[in-house]
Structure formats: structure tokens, C-alpha cells
Amino acid sequence: MIFSETKLQNAFIIEIEKIEDERGFFARTWDKDIFIEKGLDYEFIQSSISRNSKKGTFRGMHYQAEPFDETKIVRCTKGKIFDIIIDLRSNSKSFKEWFSIELTNENHKMLYIPKGFAHGFQTLEDNSEVLYQISKRYKPEFARGVRWDDPKFGIKLPLNISVISPKDLSYDYLKEE
């Protein structure tokens, strides 16, 4: 597994190292010892999948508040997505900065998203699926979100939004203390 730092503090792109032969390939996608060695969260207690029928669908920008804030590893298992994270940790050097990456079923890249980040994505193909490994149980009463189009962030989506939930449209702009 190859870990590459993003421009956001403590967020990583994870790439697989393929062992290929005439059958195809084999690759490790998870190794607790490597995560411990790198000082990253390694306790993932839940996996979830998101299926998105229509190209241009937008989900986000979601996070959970303390004490149920989550670390996530996200991977696109079918199709293609424009994955986005925002650093919402007020004590971070990269506070309010965002990062995006194209995740596809062909590039096999994953994104490690630490606690304190909002996460969202836009589908770039019909019938895209996203797999999540999550460090905490989902608690609806701690679910939060911020608007992807908040001018503080300046996020530019690659496509017009075709589908978005009323809940995602209801989020406020980031409140600063």
C-alpha cells in the first residue's frame, strides 16, 4: 500500500500495489500494522455502501460531531466519483481548505479522511457505487453538514448537480466562532 499525503493535514490517498499475473492481480487494501506504524486510526467498526443511479448526483458535505466524529476510508467500487473533503478542524493548518480526487473502480485509489473533516462526492458516471470503512457507529443526532457551495471553500464541481437531497440543500454555511 502506498500512502501519499494530500495538501490537507492528516488526509491521505492510498494506492494499492498490484501483484499481477495471467489471472489478473492481487493487492492488499487494508493492513492494521501499517496504519499503526503511520499513526493513523485503525479501528473501523462499520462498512457502508452508497449506490448512485444518476451521473451528477451530489452527496455531502457530511460529518458527525464529537464524540461520534468519524475517520473514514472511501473507495469507488463501481463507476467514477469526484470525491471532496473539507478540513473543519479550527486548530488545523489547513482549516477550511478542501481537496478533491477522482476515485474510480479502475484506479483503485482510496481516500483516508480523518476525524474533523466533512466529506462529499459527485458521481461522474451513472450507477456509481462507493464503499466506506467507518470508525464510529452512525448516530443521527450527531449528523451534521455544511454547504458545498459555501463561498468560504470555493469548491468547483465538474458537473451540474442532477440529484441532491433536500437535507443536503438544507445545510448552513460554515459558522465560525
Catalytic residue flag (residue 132): yes
Q: Judge whether 29 lies within some domain.
A: yes
The whole-model pTM stands at: 0.94
| Residue 21 grid cell | 499475473
Q: Judge whether 100 lies within some domain.
A: yes
Q: Is the dihedral of CA 11, 100, 29, 123 positive or negative?
A: positive
Q: Judge whether 123 lies within some domain.
A: yes
Please tell me which residue in 62, 63, 119, 171 is annotated as part of the active site. 62
SS3 label, residue 53: coil
Q: Judge whether 13 lies within some domain.
A: yes
Give 13-50 pLDDT, tens digit per residue. 999 999 999 999 999 999 999 999 999 999 999 999 99
Please tell me which residue in 42, 119, 132, 138 is annotated as part of the active site. 132
Give 44-75 pLDDT, tens digit per residue. 999 999 999 999 999 999 999 999 999 999 99
Provide CB contacts within 8 A for 149, sequence distance 6+: 155
Q: How many distinct structural domains can be found in the chain?
A: 1
Q: Which domain holds residue 16?
A: 2-170
Q: Judge whether 177 lies within some domain.
A: no
Please tell me the predicted confidence (pLDDT) of residue 175.
Answer: 83
Dist. CA 105–CA 177, nearest whole Å = 40
